[in-house]
Amino acid sequence: MNRHLKVAFMVAPFLAVLGYVGADYYNENLAAETKIIQLAAEGHCDIINQSCVLKSGDFKVNVSDEGGVTEINSTFPLDTATLFLVDKHDKATPYPLGMLKSPYYWRNETPLRSLVSNKGDSYKLRLIIKIKGGQYISEFTTQTAK
């Protein structure tokens, strides 16, 4: 075995470890980049009757309202969540949601129940959720079925 081959065998493990660490830093940097992802309603959305699920890939968000408190819960932990109630003139009123038990559950008091309490009532909403570098956005309509 010549000396070049011996040096190659001694250097190879260090290069492998450095490559592994470098790839990890690169992937973490990609995950932290700002990106915007659209959430779409999964079927009919009825927040009052706890039947509103927004979805993007494996990420799901359930939106519900009980007693004037609008709550969302998700399949992944969230950094922040803001719900916007949009009136007929397309003016949005923000309601920042606060963490309840864990980063999976967020809630705030909103007038949504009074706006869509009767059967057939509908209202436009927007939701912005931040997870690390990603922003999940959705514009959807809730309509009371019962």
The full set of domain ranges for the chain reads 1-32, 35-143
Closest Cα partner for 61 from 105, 19, 15? 105
Query: Quick one: pLDDT at residue 106?
Result: 94
**Which single residue is written with the structure tokens 């559950």?**
105
Predicted confidence pLDDT, tens digits, the chain (146 residues) = 789 888 888 899 999 999 999 999 898 887 777 788 999 998 889 988 888 999 998 999 999 998 889 999 999 999 999 999 998 898 999 999 999 889 999 999 999 888 887 888 888 999 999 988 789 999 998 888 87
Strand locations in the chain, DSSP E? 35-38, 40-41, 53-56, 59-66, 69-74, 80-86, 92-99, 105-109, 122-131, 134-143
Query: Quick one: pLDDT at residue 134?
Result: 85
- 35-143 adopts what CATH topology? Immunoglobulin-like (2.60.40)
